[in-house]
Amino acid sequence: MKKEYTNGEISVVWQPKICQHSGNCVRNLQSVFNSKRVPWVNMNVAKTDEIISAVNKCFSGALSIKQNQKTEDKMENKPTNEMQKIVMAENGPYLLEGKFVFVNHEGIETIKEGKVALCRCGNSGNKPFCDGTHRRNEWKA
């Protein structure tokens, strides 16, 4: 089940089904992300930019940012000529790096900047994102 945490300016969306528990969020911003606390996300102890930066380091895409208009405007002002990179992990997902807009089947857009893992094996329980099933299945490319 998807969970959302907000500071009024942005919301962090957490999808536990695809979380690979890399710990990047905790290592990068422990004041906000602390798995020993309930709730484990506290949006009121860091600046929005710091939270966005930490979420963008989420390898699996389990954490994402839902923006309000003000923050979207801020992101729109960033340079758009940045290169985007897609890497095929050995026997694993497509690793996207850059700035992307994901649009779901209902037309809801989520801006993701940083790294995202997309399923390449076809067995993820939460497509298009990798949920680690390829590892459990010992999938070979």
Any contact of residue 124 with ligand FES (CB under 6 A)?
yes
Q: Write each residue from 63 to 102 as x if it is in contact with ligand FES (CB under 6 A), else as -, in one continuous string.
A: -----------------------------xx---------
Residues 40 and 34: beta-carbon distance below 8 Å: yes
R_g of the chain computed on alpha carbons: 15
Any contact of residue 42 with ligand FES (CB under 6 A)?
no
Any contact of residue 48 with ligand FES (CB under 6 A)?
no
Strand 10-14 versus strand 63-67 pairing type: antiparallel
Q: Which two tokens stand for residue 8?
A: 């009024």
Q: What is the DSSP string of 86-114?
A: EEE-TTS-EEEEEEEEEE-TT--EEEEEE
Any contact of residue 121 with ligand FES (CB under 6 A)?
yes
Any contact of residue 20 with ligand FES (CB under 6 A)?
no
* Residues pairing with 88 in the sheet: 94
**Nearest-approach distance from CB 113 to ligand FES, in angstroms:** 21
**Nearest-approach distance from CB 88 to ligand FES, in angstroms:** 10
Contact footprint for ligand FES (CB under 6 A): 92-93, 119-121, 123-124, 130-134
